[in-house]
């Protein structure tokens, strides 16, 4: 979960102004959280309090209605609706917010089921669901095995559609089909948490979401440097810090 938030914040200033410089400065005054962090916090909050994912997504997104980069048009209409309904999305939003379920639940079947539940409140298209489930599976695999070398085979076995095709740096693609394969490619080639984040952001395209998804997987296999955690905590409001603190307290005391 924390890895997703870090990736989002680091990538936030590059979403519409991409960089291909691997050695970019991690944080500047422009760095802030976006919708990716808000939605990740919402999923964690639902787990903390036994609430429905739809309810906490609506609560948090209405509380923070104007994040940097804004919400997607369809998602914004969903937030504003008096009777919100799934809208058959296959955007990458389902994959970027899913990480808390991969940490909290302790068997793969439950992780995948909860991942589907986080997706279907908005992203009920099969590809939207598949993207969330695949990333949750990857995080669960990495955190339970600590074997990055086995991830490619694991994903190939369960999600072969995400392991084929050619993808080009700098292309802005907000779909699960166009984002999840890139994120898997990046994490498989990484050698540290910071390396994964730098490779994700310097890929270009939808940089904050690629950063969030790669960061969510990187946190499951690598130690996050303390200075990065401290910097990110200083950029988050107290209500989000409370959710994070409660989530990790609950996780460690199950």
- What is the rounded average pLDDT of the residues 11-21? 94
Mean pLDDT of 235-240: 98
* Per-residue pLDDT at 169: 85
Verdict on whether the full-model pTM lies above 0.95: yes
Long-range contacts at 25-29 (CB < 8 A, ≥ 24 apart): 26/194, 26/197, 26/228, 26/231, 27/231, 27/235
> pLDDT per residue over 195-221, tens digit each?
999 999 999 999 999 999 999 999 999
Q: What is the pLDDT of residue 166?
A: 74
What integer is the mean pLDDT of 27-40? Answer: 97
Q: Which residues carry a binding-site annotation?
A: 34-36, 206, 208-209
Task: Enumerate the known binding-site residues for Mg(2+).
Answer: 34-36, 206, 208-209
- The pLDDT of residue 46 is above 90: yes
Render pLDDT for 58-109 as a digit per residue (tens, 0 to 9): 999 999 999 998 999 999 999 999 999 999 999 999 999 999 999 999 999 9
- For residue 72, the tally of other CB atoms under 10 A from its CB is 16
C-alpha to C-alpha distances, 211 to 5, 78, 218, nearest whole angstrom: 9, 24, 10
pLDDT at position 163 is 84
Q: What is the pLDDT of residue 35?
A: 97
What's the pLDDT score for residue 159? 94
Note the pLDDT tens digit of each residue in 164-192: 777 878 888 999 999 999 999 999 999 99
Q: How far apart are CA 184 and CA 146, in angstroms?
A: 16
What's the CA gap between 71 and 83, in Å, rounded?
Answer: 18
Q: Is 193 exposed, middle or buried (0-12, 13-18, 19+ CB in 10 A)?
A: buried
State pLDDT tens for residues 144-168. 999 999 999 999 999 998 987 778 7
Average pLDDT, the chain: 96
**Percentage of residues in the chain having pLDDT higher than 70:** 100
List, in order of start, the domains of the chain with CATH numbers: 2-248 (1.10.4080.10)
Q: What is the largest CA-CA distance in the chain?
A: 47
What pLDDT is attached to residue 66?
Answer: 93
Confidence of residue 8 (pLDDT cuts 50, 70, 90): very high
How high is the pLDDT of residue 27?
97
pLDDT of residue 16: 87
């Amino acid at each position: 979960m924390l890895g997703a938030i870090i990736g989002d914040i680091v990538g936030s200033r590059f979403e519409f102004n991409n960089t291909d410089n691997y050695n970019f400065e991690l944080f500047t005054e422009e760095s802030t959280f976006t919708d990716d962090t808000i939605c990740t916090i919402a999923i964690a909050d639902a787990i903390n309090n036994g609430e429905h994912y739809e309810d906490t997504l609506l609560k948090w997104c209405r509380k923070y209605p104007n994040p940097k980069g804004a919400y997607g048009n369809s998602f914004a209409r969903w937030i504003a609706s008096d009777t919100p309904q799934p809208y058959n999305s296959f955007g990458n939003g389902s994959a970027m917010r899913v990480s808390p379920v991969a940490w909290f639940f302790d068997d793969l079947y439950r992780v995948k089921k909860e991942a589907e539940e986080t997706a279907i409140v908005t992203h009920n298209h099969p590809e939207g669901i598949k993207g969330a489930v695949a990333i949750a599976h990857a995080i669960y695999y990495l955190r339970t095995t600590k074997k990055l070398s086995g991830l490619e085979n694991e994903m190939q076995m369960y999600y072969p559609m995400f392991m084929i095709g050619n993808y080009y740096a700098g292309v802005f693609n907000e779909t699960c089909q166009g984002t999840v394969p890139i994120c898997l490619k990046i994490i498989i080639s990484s050698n540290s948490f910071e390396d994964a984040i730098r490779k994700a952001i310097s890929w270009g395209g939808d940089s904050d979401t690629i950063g969030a998804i790669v960061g969510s997987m990187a946190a499951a296999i690598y130690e996050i440097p303390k200075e990065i955690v401290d910097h990110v905590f200083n950029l988050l409001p107290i209500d989000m810090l409370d959710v994070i603190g409660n989530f990790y307290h609950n996780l460690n005391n199950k």
